[in-house]
Structure 1
Amino acid sequence: MDYFAGLDISMEETHVCVLDCEGAVVHEARTISTAEAIFASLAKAPSCRRVVFETGRMAPMLYHGLRERDVPVVCIESRQAYQALKSLATHKTDRNDARGLAHLARTGFFKPTHVKSLPAHAIRSLVIARKKLVGQRVMLENQIRGLAVVFGVRLPRALSPAFIKQALQASEGIDGLSAAMRGLIAARAAVLSAVSAIDADMKKMAKASGVCRRLMTIPGV
């Protein structure tokens, strides 16, 4: 007989439900949200043909952790799961969601979604961090520009050498404004330093990647 499992995952704990091919519950449990603990909970039930859970922040770590333990896990899109779970349970609870996901695993009424590797997520985090820092740099520069224009000073392009010089000149001798400008300029310098460090790391990673080196041979890339 085939068995199917559903996992309702949160940051702290995971609800586990295992059904047989007729839809009868054969195992229900609640455990902490780690691959080791979930694997141990599933081991108390018959071997499952398919284990289903939704996408989320914990999905990459648990997906690859369970795959390493030969668990036939499938990750599905949370929006699709939400629509299906609404029709399966009258009351939305973690326990009912786990049971609903187990029914989806049993019926096959789902579309698997690709889960990126953990190294891919590490590279993505570097790109996201750089994007956030660049946004902070632009925000600081706009704030500096806004403070200066109140006193009739129009600053040049933010990345030009004259930007900081003219900003300091505009605030010189003005109590309050001078301290504000120095603080914003110091914060901008720290952000620029962090962006430069990330750029250096990304260049090293690109040079070490055969795929990136091949793409860089394309004109304009």
Structure 2
Amino acid sequence: MKFYAGLDVSLAETAICIVDENGVIYREGTAVSHPDDIALWLSKVEHSLERIGLEAGATAAWLFNGLREHGYHMVCIDPRKLRAATKMMPVKNDRNDARAIASCMRVGWYSVVHIKSDVSQELRMLLANRRTLKIKAIDIENEIRGTLKVFGLKLSGRVTQGPYERMIRELIEDVPRLAAMVQPMLIARRALREQSAVLEKMLLGEVRKDETCRRLMTIPGVGAITAITYVGTIDDPDRFQRSRDVGAHLGLTPGKYASGEVDRTLPITKCGDVIMRSTLYQAALALLTRTRKL
């Protein structure tokens, strides 16, 4: 008889459920959300497990790879499809979610989510951290502008990043109380910009070492950030059977609603990676507006 397991992962504990091929619950319990602790719990099961499923999430890659090292057949599933199966539950808790995941493993009603390699995960985190620092710096700049406007002080014309701090200090030098309030904001902004530049230098170093990134940058409108974001998102090109599958994976293909006599083509699905999609949009905009014709 075959057995299947479902893991519902939370930060502290993971609910575990094992069902047999007939859907009968064989064993349930909880373990600390660590690959070694979960593997220890599973090792006490007398039968081998056909498949073990867990939802895609923040710690999914870590648990997935850790349990695979222990020899288990792991499957990472799309939580959106599982949500459709669990939304009718009268009682929703971790134990019932683990039961639902185990049942999906048994009947095969799930969509597999690709677990990226460690290299791609590192690139994604590097891009995300750089983006966070830049957004926070922009937020501080906007807050400073808003503070100055309250006192009737405005930055005139287009202000580039270089003279920004100098121009702010010139505006507030005659208002000591305002200068005391804005000074910490300027220091924080400068620190964010400096550390963002550190991460950007690391990204550019990765781009220089990657042959695929350099090849992608030969495309008009594609720069270093677009190239490395694309490489980190695709990770393993062999997981796509056809090149046009990439567009659907990124949510760039139109949706469709067809029922009875109604047949409508919808806007793009937007079901893929948001950062990759927005980066490609910026690359397309640069191609249309800034790239010179050859």
Fold shared, TM-score > 0.5 on shorter chain: yes
For residue 60 of structure 1, give the secondary structure of its aligned residue in structure 2: helix
Deviation at 1:75, TM superposition (A): 1.2
Counterparts of 2:221 and 2:111 in 1: how far apart (Å)? Answer: 37
TM-superposition CA deviations, 1:83-131 (whole Å, max 9, x none): 21245x5422222221221111111111212222233222111111111
Question: What's the counterpart of residue 81 of structure 2?
Answer: 80
Spell out, residue by residue over 1:4-51, the C-alpha distance to the aligned partner (whole angstroms, 9 max, x if none).
111111111111111111122222221111111111212222111111
Deviation at 1:55, TM superposition (A): 1.5
> What residue in structure 1 maps to residue 192 of structure 2?
191
Report the counterpart of residue 67 of structure 1 in structure 2: 68
Aligned-pair CA distance for 1:160: 4.8
**Could you report, residue by residue, the CA deviation over 1:43-90 in whole angstroms, capped at 9, with x for unpaired residues?**
222111111111221211111111222211111111211221245x54
TM-score by length of 2: 0.69
Aligned to 2:213: 212
Cα offsets for 1:160-202 (capped at 9, x unmatched) = 5443222212111312111123222212211110111011110
- Name the structure 2 match of 1:38: 38
**Structure 1 stretch 23-32 or stretch 10-19: which is displaced more?**
23-32
Which structure exhibits the higher relative contact order, with contacts defined as CA atoms closer than 8 Å and separated by 6 or more residues? 1
Q: Which residue of 1 aligns with 2:138?
A: 138
Aligned residues: 220
Which residue of structure 1 aligns with residue 118 of structure 2? 118
Give the C-alpha shift of residue 220 in structure 1.
4.0
Q: Match for residue 29 of structure 1?
A: 29
* Distance in structure 1 (CA, Å) of the matches to 2:140 and 2:157: 15
Greater gyration radius: 1
TM-superposed deviation, 1:156: 4.1
- Separation in 2 of the partners of 1:209 and 1:187? 33
Match of 1:107 in 2: 107
Q: In the aligned structure 2, how far is the partner of 1:153 from the partner of 1:96? A: 58
Moved more, 209-218 or 19-28: 209-218
Question: Aligned partners of 1:92, 1:153: CA distance in 2, in Å?
Answer: 54
The structure-2 alpha-carbon separation of the partners of 1:18 and 1:220, relative to structure 1 and needing over 3 Å to count, comes to same
Contact 1:60 1:118 in 2 (8 A): no
- The CA distance in 1 between the partners of 2:161 and 2:201, in whole Å, is 21
Unaligned runs of at least 5 residues, structure 1: none
Percent same amino acid at aligned positions? Answer: 32
Cα distance in structure 1, aligned partners of 2:84 and 2:146: 47
Cα distance change, pair 122–161 in 1 and its aligned pair in 2 (3 A): closer
The residue aligned with 1:8 is 8
Within 1, Cα distance between the matches of 2:27 and 2:38?
13
| Whole-Å separation in 1 of the counterparts to 2:141 and 2:214 | 34
Aligned to 1:17: 17
Rounded Cα–Cα distance in structure 1 between residues aligned with 2:178 and 2:126: 35
The runs of 4+ residues in structure 1 deviating greater than 4 Å are: none
CA RMSD in angstroms, aligned pairs only: 1.9
- Is residue 148–residue 155 contact of structure 1 (8 Å, CA) maintained in 2? no
- In 2, Cα distance between equivalents of 1:142 and 1:103: 50
Aligned residue for 2:29, secondary structure, equals strand
Matches of 1:63 and 1:143, distance apart in 2: 42
